[in-house]
């Protein structure tokens, strides 16, 4: 991978990276398409990163299907797929960890305290190996996107981070490799998450400016569906995840729930002008 990247850069070509954990779907393919528009050469990495999974999480059963992924990628014009083994990425004496402290602390960080350190560390390794000019991440993992942008800024990595829009199923469910765990009926319930976010956006557009009132109304709607166990629903400053006294500027409405034992996240950005 390093030799390949060196050749690309020596030829003066712009290199793009789309980091993934595989089991690709239309969301990933849209990130690849974005990278292709911005770069001459695009690399996709596929690595189910053990350090971003907590104890008791789904690392072992996380869906993996490399032949299927390679088949999908063949149609996208990517130049190379990087799929290192776990021991290549983390040799037995591996000791280093990258922590983006405040941004990793709330939202998903509350229930997954080691998650973002695992993400930041592996993404830094991928950046150092692939040496991309541009890297594209999905906006569904909004907190992850901010954590990576902050790491790039704080450590002067010189990689341009681009965000790809959330790609949704017809019913509104945000695409995710973990949707694989959902049955047909669960997918129907999962569609309520996006409906709740859209409802929140409508309330803001209609003039709601109280954070507590907005959360209350969205939560009331979500709680009507008894199958949905809410982990968090937050309304925050979209630039830095700071709490808001009043709704204004660019606002993030983010949620995490459990449905049929599957953890799902989703979010929406609302510009209040």
Q: Are the beta carbons of 249 and 243 closer than 8 angstroms?
A: no
Closest to ligand PAF by CB, 30 vs 144, is 144
Site membership for ligand PAF, residue 143 (CB under 6 A): no
Query: Among residues 20, 30, 143, 176, which is the contact residue for ligand PAF, using CB under 6 A?
Result: 20
Residue 13 burial class via C-beta count within 10 angstroms: exposed 0-12, middle 13-18, buried 19 and up: middle
Main-chain dihedrals φ then ψ at residue 115, nearest 5 degrees: -60, -55
108 binds ligand PAF (CB under 6 A): no
Quick one: which segment of 30-38, 85-93, 116-124, 258-266 binds ligand PAF (CB under 6 A)? Answer: 116-124
Q: Does 162 bind ligand PAF (CB under 6 A)?
A: no
The window from 1-9, 55-63, 115-123, 229-237 that contacts ligand PAF (CB under 6 A) reads 115-123
Active-site option among 25, 28, 115, 188: 28
Mark the segment that binds ligand PAF (CB under 6 A) among 14-22, 222-230, 249-257, 264-272: 14-22
**Sheet containing 262-271, strands listed edge to edge, beginning at the edge strand earlier in sequence:** 228-237, 250-259, 262-271
Minimum distance from residue 116 beta carbon to ligand PAF (Å)? 9
Pick 123 or 244: Cβ nearer ligand PAF: 123
Applying CB under 6 A, which of residues 41, 104, 127, 141 lies at the interface with ligand PAF?
A: 141
Catalytic site includes residue 25? no
Angle at 235 between CA 199 and CA 207, to 5 degrees: 55
Least spacing, CB of residue 221 vs ligand PAF, in Å: 28
Q: Does 175 bind ligand PAF (CB under 6 A)?
A: no
Q: Both tokens of residue 237?
A: 């400053």
List all residues 6 or more positions away from 20 whose beta carbon is below 8 Å from its beta carbon. 28, 31, 44, 45, 46
Helices (H), 93-229: 108-111, 115-130, 142-154, 184-205, 211-223
Given the complex with ligand PAF, which of 10 and 85 has the nearer CB atom? Answer: 85
Q: Determine whether 252 is exposed, middle or buried from the number of CB atoms within 10 Å of its CB (0-12, 13-18, 19+).
A: buried
Residue 122 sits in the site that holds ligand PAF (CB under 6 A):
yes
CB 84 within 8 A of CB 66: no
Shortest distance, CB of residue 82 to ligand PAF, whole angstroms?
Answer: 11
165 C-beta neighbours (distance < 10 Å), count: 12
- Give the count of alpha carbons within 13 A of 121, CB side only: 18
Q: What residues between 43 and 102 interact with ligand PAF by CB under 6 A?
A: 49, 52
Contacting residue, 8, 24, 31, 123, with ligand PAF by CB under 6 A? 123
Smallest separation, CB 198 to ligand PAF (Å): 24
Q: Which residues contact 156 (CB under 8 A, 6 or more apart)?
A: none
Catalytically active residues are 28
Note the residues at the interface with ligand PAF (CB under 6 A).
Answer: 19-21, 49, 52, 119, 122-123, 141, 144
């Amino acid at each position: 991978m390093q030799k390949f990247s060196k050749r690309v850069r020596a030829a003066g070509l712009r290199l793009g990276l789309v980091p993934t954990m595989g089991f690709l779907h239309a969301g990933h393919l849209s990130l690849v398409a974005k990278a292709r528009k911005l770069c001459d050469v695009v690399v996709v990495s596929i690595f189910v990163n053990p350090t971003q999974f907590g104890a008791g999480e789904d690392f072992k059963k996380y869906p993996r299907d490399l032949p299927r992924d390679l088949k999908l990628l063949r149609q996208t014009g990517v130049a190379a797929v990087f799929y290192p083994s776990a021991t290549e990425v983390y040799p037995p004496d591996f000791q280093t960890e990258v922590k983006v402290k405040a941004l990793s602390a709330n939202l998903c960080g509350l229930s997954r305290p080691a998650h973002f350190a695992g993400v930041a560390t592996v993404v830094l390794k991928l950046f150092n190996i692939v040496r991309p000019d541009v890297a594209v991440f999905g906006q569904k993992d909004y907190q992850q996107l901010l954590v990576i942008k902050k790491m790039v800024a704080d450590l002067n990595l010189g990689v341009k981070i681009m965000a790809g829009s959330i790609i949704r199923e017809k019913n509104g469910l945000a695409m995710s490799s973990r949707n694989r765990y959902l049955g047909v009926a669960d997918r129907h319930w999962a569609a309520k998450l996006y409906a709740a976010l859209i409802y929140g956006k409508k309330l803001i557009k209609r003039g709601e400016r109280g954070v507590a009132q907005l959360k209350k109304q969205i939560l009331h709607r979500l709680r009507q569906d008894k199958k949905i166990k809410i982990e968090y629903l937050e309304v925050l400053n979209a630039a830095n995840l700071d709490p808001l006294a009043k709704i204004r500027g660019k606002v993030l409405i983010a949620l995490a729930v459990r449905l049929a034992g599957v953890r799902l996240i989703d979010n929406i950005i609302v510009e209040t002008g």
